Amino acid sequence: MLEFEALWVLLLLPLPLLWLLLPAQPVASLTRLKVPLAVVHQADDDNPAVARRRLPAWLKWLGWALLLAALARPVWVGDPVSLPDSRREMMLILDLSGSMQETDMEYGGRPSDRLTAAKGVLFDFIKARQGDRLGLILFADHAYVQAPLSYDLDTIATLMSEAELGLVGNRTAIGEAIALATKQLVGRKSQKKVAVLLTDGRNTAGGIEPDDAIAAAREKGVTFYAIGFGSDYQIKRTPLGNIKVPNGDPPDEAQLARLADATGGRFFRAKDADQLEDIYKELNQLEPLEDNTQTLRPRTDIFYWPLALLLLLSVALALWRTR
């Protein structure tokens, strides 16, 4: 849609008509030969040089109109574009410790290690959070911000999918992960600060005790949802086939429950990929997307179009009159 930022300029379009209404300037009487005006015009018309110099009235009006159109600052207003206006910011925390390579899961109809199953479910969760600002923390020996809070969910999903075992060690620094997520969310303007922690073990590394990190998260008003992931059994290959043996290093459910209770979140236990998928679906219900979408209509200046036409017209007339 076309709009003019200085529409009042177009009111000057009839201004040249006022010049025609002005009284003729008195001319000092001079002795001159009286020749009928029609004869003068006829003579001018018969003179090609004079005829070329005389501009048609419509060209003068066209030039004047183009000049005013440029001065009126025309803009093209595009279709409304939705802008995300979420009041929710969420840090996703993913365990990359060595135990995440245990192949006690089934994902996509095939046997899978824990990390592959977790990444597949988490990928779908990220894609469903359009409008939220998400971030990603990976942890093992230490915790690292893999992606800061951003609306660019495609990039976050890609970075999460590219996470590999051993990238940041093999142990489990849960305390550091909690503290780092809290630090990333503190000071943000969003009304709701949420972190989702997924781990299959207990704190075995890092310089921050989980209970200290939990106390800080509660003080700063960050809500944590904690997910303990992993089967009760490990699958061991033997000459006689695969057998199930009890998992000797399950998630620290008591500690994860304390984290959730202290911060107003919830603790979940997922023993397979299907349960994990159900948990993330439930998180979508617990932390629904807010419909606060704002719209913006992009505006593009186009004053240079009438200005360019005026310049081209001027050049063309100059060339025509000098032929």
**Contact criterion met (CB below 8 Å) for 118 and 100:** yes
Longest dimension (CA), the chain: 132
pLDDT tens for 126-141 read 998 887 889 999 999 9
Q: Is residue 74 part of a domain?
A: no
Q: Which two tokens stand for residue 213?
A: 């990190």
Please name which of 202, 280, 229 lies closest in space to residue 104, comparing C-alpha atoms. 229
Question: Is residue 232 in some structural domain?
Answer: yes
Within 10 Å of residue 227's Cβ, how many Cβ atoms? 25
- Say how many C-beta atoms besides its own lie within 10 A of residue 292's C-beta: 12
The beta strand positions in 239-313, using DSSP E, are: 241-246, 267-270, 294-296, 299-301
Dihedral (Cα; 118, 123, 129, 135), 10-degree rounding: 80
Q: Is 117 within the bounds of a domain?
A: yes
Give the CATH number for residue 95.
3.40.50.410
Instruction: Name the percent of the chain lying above pLDDT 70.
Output: 82
- The 10 Å Cβ neighbour count of residue 170 is 16
DSSP, res 85: -
Give per-residue pLDDT as tens, 44-97.
555 555 555 566 777 778 888 888 888 888 888 888 776 655 567 899 999 999
CA 231 distance to own-chain centroid: 38
Is 297 or 251 the better-scoring residue by pLDDT?
Answer: 251
> 312: helix, coil or strand?
helix
Using pLDDT thresholds of 50, 70 and 90, give the confidence band for residue 260: very high
pLDDT in tens, 173-227: 999 999 999 999 998 777 788 999 999 989 999 899 999 999 999 999 999 999 9
What value does the mean pLDDT of the chain take? 83
Cα–Cα distances in angstroms (integers) from residue 290 to residues 84, 129, 294, in the given order: 10, 10, 12
Residue 268, φ and ψ in degrees, nearest 5: -125, 150
25 part of a folded domain? no
Q: Model confidence over 302-322: pLDDT tens digits?
A: 888 888 888 888 887 777 767
242 closest CA partner among 98, 116, 114, 104 = 104
Domain range holding 92?
A: 83-294
Number of independent structural domains in the chain: 1
Please check whether residue 125 lies inside any domain of the structure.
yes
Q: What is the pLDDT of residue 40?
A: 46
**If you average pLDDT over residues 228-247, what whole number do you get?**
76
Q: Domain for residue 258, yes or no?
A: yes
Classify strands 74-77 and 294-296 as parallel, antiparallel or unpaired. Answer: unpaired
Tell me if 38 is assigned to some domain. Answer: no
- Identify whether 239 is part of a domain: yes
Do 139 and 55 contact (CB within 8 A), yes or no?
no
